[in-house]
């Protein structure tokens, strides 16, 4: 889970990952955010007129459809009673919209206004969301909200400040990195921020938290030619899992496999590491691991560029936005070690740099953002 936020021109500048300091397991914490319930942002809910105001597009839905025409802060896709539901956050307002895989209607289900939302983290059933944004003092805020469709509001409270990255597991627990001064703490808690406990502390600020089954891991932020590390945290200790140049990682839900990309002066390549037999397998298409998602514990879906030879320093220049990819959608099976082109986006006449990929449990819809303009797209896999 994976995302960074823009804090001035220095946001995407990566510092050296190997320096004095290190990681240590730690202590319980008592700060669990500002709780108290109620809606903390403008917007008193949807009027009857607003509830009935939908955006419609006539005709059948295309296999690849643009869900949002305006920039978003991410979305989620899930299944309810045989229906596939898509929810997403409008970046400028924080309003939450909903649609399905069978209809182009866009229903606004939350009118709570939260300006300048940068990212969103969703619960498994799409009923709760954590919205992250920069306030007027450029402090990174994280607001936990429960979506109340009947009233069209988002009810919740603030988590701690300066949470840089959040990952959620299948049980609904979150693991996040909180930066305080020159120290980064890894904290696990319930999705709403309660029962928080620190499990990791480091003088290195740039870490990516990730669940690996019921274990927690941290990976250094990737930069080309810089040696990266992935550690698993165990009962007060940490141990290295893998280490490569420019490494970007994505663990399978059960933790049995790690998808990772390596970026060095030659090229970027994608691999699978099996933790059971300690074996590596190269994936026969190229991309960054964070441009992928696990459909289950065996199959991955990825956005992979048409042209694997892209000028620039990858992934650094890609993070800065100075280079962009034009992707197709591929899938890879770790058991059969076979790859398949799912959808040729270029042949469809579109250019999409796919990020924030997510898929529903029935594997019917792949949802992703276009990094170039932050619009949301859905690919039908039926």
What would the 3-class secondary structure string for 189-227 be? Answer: EECCCCCCEEEEEECCCCEEEEEECCEEEEEECCCCCCE
Q: pLDDT at position 5, please?
A: 37
Going by the DSSP 8-state scheme, the letter that residue 60 receives in this structure is: P
Question: Are the beta carbons of 178 and 163 closer than 8 angstroms?
Answer: yes
pLDDT averages per 10-residue partition of the chain, 382 residues: 37 34 34 38 45 53 95 97 96 97 94 95 97 94 96 95 94 94 94 95 92 95 95 88 97 97 90 96 96 98 84 92 95 97 94 97 97 98 92
Sign of the torsion formed by the C-alpha atoms of 137, 222, 248 and 363 = positive
**Per-residue pLDDT at 352:** 97
Question: Which residue is listed with tokens 């979150």?
Answer: 174
Question: Do residues 323 and 312 make contact, with C-beta atoms less than 8 angstroms apart?
Answer: yes
Contact at 8 Å (CB) between 105 and 98?
Answer: no
Which residues are CB-contacts of 205 (< 8 A; sequence separation ≥ 6)? 15, 164, 179, 182, 183, 184
Determine the Cα–Cα distance for residues 90 and 74; give it in Å rounded to an integer.
8
What is the reported pLDDT for 309? 66
pTM given for the model? 0.85
What pLDDT does residue 59 have? 60
């Amino acid at each position: 889970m994976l995302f960074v936020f823009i804090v001035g021109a220095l946001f995407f500048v990566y510092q050296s990952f190997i320096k004095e300091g290190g990681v240590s397991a730690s202590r319980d914490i008592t700060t669990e955010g500002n709780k108290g319930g109620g809606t903390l942002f403008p917007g008193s809910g949807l009027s009857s007129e607003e509830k009935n105001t939908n955006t419609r597009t006539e005709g059948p839905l295309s296999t690849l459809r643009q869900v949002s025409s305006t920039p978003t802060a991410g979305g989620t896709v899930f299944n309810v009673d045989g229906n596939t539901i898509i929810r997403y956050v409008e970046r400028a307002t924080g309003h939450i919209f909903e649609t399905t895989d069978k209809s182009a209607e866009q229903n606004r289900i939350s009118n709570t206004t939260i300006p300048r939302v940068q990212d969103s983290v969703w619960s498994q059933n799409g009923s709760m969301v954590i919205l992250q944004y920069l306030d007027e003092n450029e402090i990174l805020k994280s607001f936990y909200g429960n979506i109340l469709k009947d009233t069209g509001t988002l009810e919740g409270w603030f988590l701690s400040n300066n949470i840089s990255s959040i990952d959620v597991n299948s049980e609904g627990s979150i693991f996040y990195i909180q930066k305080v001064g020159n120290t980064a703490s890894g904290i696990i808690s319930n999705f709403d921020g309660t029962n928080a406990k620190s499990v990791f502390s480091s003088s290195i600020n740039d870490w990516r938290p990730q669940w690996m089954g019921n274990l927690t891991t941290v990976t250094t932020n990737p930069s080309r030619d810089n040696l990266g590390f992935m550690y698993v945290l165990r009962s007060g200790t940490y141990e290295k899992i893998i280490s490569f140049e420019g490494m970007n990682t994505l663990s399978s839900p059960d933790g049995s496999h790690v998808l990772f990309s390596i970026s060095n002066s030659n090229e970027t390549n994608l691999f699978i590491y099996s933790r059971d037999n300690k074996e590596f397998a190269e994936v026969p298409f190229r991309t960054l691991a964070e441009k992928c998602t696990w459909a289950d514990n065996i199959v991955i879906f990825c956005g992979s560029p048409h042209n694997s030879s892209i000028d620039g320093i990858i992934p650094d220049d890609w993070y800065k936005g100075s280079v962009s990819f034009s992707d197709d959608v591929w899938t890879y099976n770790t058991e059969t070690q076979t790859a398949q082109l799912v959808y040729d986006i270029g042949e469809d006449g579109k250019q999409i740099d796919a990020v924030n990929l997510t898929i529903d449990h029935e594997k019917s819809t792949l949802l992703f953002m276009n990094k170039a303009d932050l619009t949301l797209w859905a690919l039908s896999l039926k």
